[in-house]
Amino acid sequence: MQHEEHGAEMARNGWASGGRGEAVTGVSLVGMKSLEAIEGYIDEIGPNARFELSYQMSAELLAQAAPLIRGRVVSAHACCPSTEFFPNLASADPSVVAQSLTDMETTLETALGFGAGIVVLHAGYVTDLAMPSSYAARKPILSRPEFLNDVRHADGAICGPEYRASPGYIPYAERAKERLVALARRYARAGVRLAVENLNPRVGYLFHSPEEMLELAALDPDLWLCLDVGHLYITSFAFGFDYLEGLKTIIGSGKVASCHLHANSSEPGRYRDDHSSLKEQGFPLEEVLKIVAASRANLIVEAVEDLAGNTRIVQKAAAGREIL
């Protein structure tokens, strides 16, 4: 309890959205696989470097990095440290849900230990199975026959906007929502915001559209959102809505605690979750950054290339300067 109280105080007073009343620019550690990479990034960015812990970070790497980044961590992406399976709060299997909640409790402890005020979560999946965190292990599950009827775009196994109203989707979404509220309240008692991320619109994933994000935002005062601009870019092509208006809709909820910033090479009929540089050709970078920088959300670079360069772009946008 003493550790939790200390961690909650760090989260409230540290570099987290709501802690100082200002947005923070940082980078996800998903693009850094070693202590040397973290050290190199800090050397480039300097003392203002801030981080989101990654769901790919092992307990060993967390321990190695702790002296460098503790006090600089604004958020953590569940599960952290890395686990064999992602949380699946939508499952009807009690053992899967129990393990998911155990892993989320461990992630909360990690966040508190590093002084992070936000934990980002992929809420769940349209299956009762445990969902592997490795894409290679996850793909065979998502390719099972029960998902095929809902595939509207074979490239990427992408669903259509009607998926969220389908009989196969609804019960999973409702179970996830119920458990998210309880989990968000648990996190809030510890001084940490739980933020649900919009996923790319692959069949089997939950919560893709602006409408669903608004529904989540309205569920409970303690439940927050993570707006992933790259995922929404894919969804806008697959579902046929105006991308920038979709961004504004989600930001307008007033519940966005953090934004994941990365681009991809998607276009109508082509769906790629590349997590590429924000300068990806065709991505409306200036318009996107203008929208998200005006919010009070943390701005987290989640590209897997040119991390320092992308961070500088976002820092300029947050300061109201020209970015290109």
Structural domain span for residue 232: 2-318
pLDDT confidence bin for 7, thresholds 50/70/90:
very low
Looking up residue 125, the CATH number of its domain turns out to be 3.20.20.150
Confidence label for 244 from pLDDT (cuts 50, 70 and 90): very high
Q: Encoding tokens for residue 135?
A: 């894409």
- CA dist 120 → 11, 143, 146 (Å): 14, 26, 28
List the Cα angle 92/213/203 in 5-degree steps: 55
Identify the pLDDT of residue 118: 98
Question: Which residues have C-beta within 8 Å of that of residue 95, sequence separation ≥ 6?
Answer: none
Higher pLDDT, 39 or 9: 39
Query: Residue 33 and residue 170: Cα distance in Å, rounded?
Result: 37
Q: What is the pTM of this model?
A: 0.93
Domain count, the chain: 1
* The pLDDT of residue 320: 85
Q: What is the mean pLDDT of residues 140-157?
A: 92
Closest to 175 in 3D by CA, of 100, 257, 80, 253 = 100
Higher pLDDT, 19 or 165: 165
Length of the chain: 324
Please state, in angstroms and rounded to a whole number, the distance separating the CA atoms of residues 77 and 99: 17
In this prediction, residue 303 carries a pLDDT of 95
Mean pLDDT value across residues 78-93: 97
- The fraction of the chain above a pLDDT of 70, given in percent, is 93
User: In this predicted model, what pLDDT tens digit does every residue of 301-322 receive, in sequence order?
Assistant: 999 999 999 999 999 999 888 7
Nearest alpha carbon to residue 13 among 100, 109, 117? 117
172 closest CA partner among 80, 96, 244: 96
pLDDT of residue 321: 85
The half-sphere exposure of 276 on its side-chain side, counting CA atoms within 13 A, is 14
Lowest mean pLDDT among 8-12, 24-28, 128-132: 8-12
What's the token pair of residue 307? Answer: 């991390």
Cα dihedral across residues 151, 147, 169, 157: positive or negative? negative
Which pair of tokens denotes residue 25?
Answer: 């620019």
Q: 120: closest CA among 307, 315, 302, 303?
A: 302
Residue 34 falls inside a structural domain: yes
Is 125:204 a contact under the CB 8 Å cutoff?
yes
Let me know if 140 is exposed, middle or buried by CB neighbors in 10 A (0-12, 13-18, 19+): exposed
Q: What's the pLDDT at 241?
A: 97
Pick from 218, 215, 222: nearest CA to 190: 222
Residue 324 lies in a domain: no
Cβ–Cβ < 8 Å for 257, 118: yes
CA atoms within 13 A on the CB side of 297: 33
Residue 142 lies in a domain: yes
**How far is Cα 109 from Cα 119, in angstroms, rounded to an integer?**
11
| 3-state class (DSSP) for residue 6 | helix
- The pLDDT-based confidence of 135 (bands split at 50, 70, 90) is confident
CB-CB neighbours of 266 under 10 Å: 26
Indicate the range of 9-23, 47-61, 121-135, 225-239 predicted with least confidence.
9-23
**Dihedral angle, C-alpha 37, 38, 44, 45, nearest 10 °:** 150
Q: Please indicate, yes or no, if residue 323 is contained in any of the structural domains.
A: no
Average pLDDT taken over every residue of the chain: 92
Cα angle, residue 92 at apex, residues 88 and 96 outer, rounded to 5°: 45
The pair of structure tokens assigned to 38 is 């973290």
Tell me the pLDDT tens digit for each residue of 189-233.
999 999 999 999 999 999 999 999 999 999 999 999 999 999 999
Assess whether pLDDT exceeds 80 at residue 68.
yes
What Rg value do the Cα atoms of the chain yield, rounded? 18
42-64 pLDDT, tens digit each: 999 999 999 999 999 999 999 99
Return the HEC string of 44-72: HHCCCCCEEECCCCCHHHHHHHHHHHCCC
More confident residue, 135 or 59: 59
CB distance 323 to 289 below 8 Å: yes
